[in-house]
Structure 1
């Protein structure tokens, strides 16, 4: 009997160690973070912005960034939402910090991850971005389009008669003709 208990304990220890030893390592981001030059060429939109907040989901997080300067592409609104995966390649940004965001404009909006080159906006990074893309422009809210004109019918009046419309033109023609006659008489 003691021999049987020893065997059971040994089998239990081996089974438990198998779970620990066979467990897969956590997936690390395998991409190489690009330099500013290649990152700016690959990105559709490049801007600096401050992280206002983050909404995390199971597979994606949505980052709200207040846009400061735009170096490439068009930014329609500020704050702007940028999607990022929640895996190891996703963006890990701190609130109230300024970042240089290299984003791709996809079918569901802007997306960015570590592999795109998004990083904290320090002096060295900003100098490299300005060298690659120029000084950028300060973000300004686009002016809204004016509302379309509305046409209203004025009471139920009839349109003006032809004689009323033609009278000013006829008067000018008569004055011109009289002026011509006077000038010809003097000559």
Structure 2
């Protein structure tokens, strides 16, 4: 089983790292593409070793500028894609079909192939442009999953919140039995 993970430049790089760790725990082959701003955010938010931890969890790392990479083609079978976090810039490009880098091209491929595309959109407050882009992306087939904590589970740490949100995103791909804790569990 193969999944594409995109990490864009929005705050919340730990979400992408958690998704990568949990997919590795499921023995899922992960293709990773990170925007230049995403690399910067990983360094700022996850420390000096953040990128190396991320790299250790994935099967393949693709340069964001390589629009000819395998994941840019619908002929390459993958189970879907998660963009965690998804910046408003990446959301806008995906919602409007601007396949101008590998992250947005790989997302566009998921949509055209009718595969799951999960976008952990990260911004607050939202402008009307953001909301319209979320609507457009949803109409195209994306699933918008803002990283909102499940407070009813009584999380005790930011890491627990992050892991729960990442698990919820993976669950939406339908790869395995649910990872995320559910209400009443």
Structure with bigger RCO (C-alpha 8 Å, 6+ apart): 2
Q: Tell which structure's C-alpha radius of gyration is larger.
A: 1
Q: TM-score range by the shorter chain?
A: under 0.3
TM-score w.r.t. the length of structure 1 is 0.21
**In proportion to residue count, which structure has more strand?**
1
**In proportion to residue count, which structure has more helix?**
2
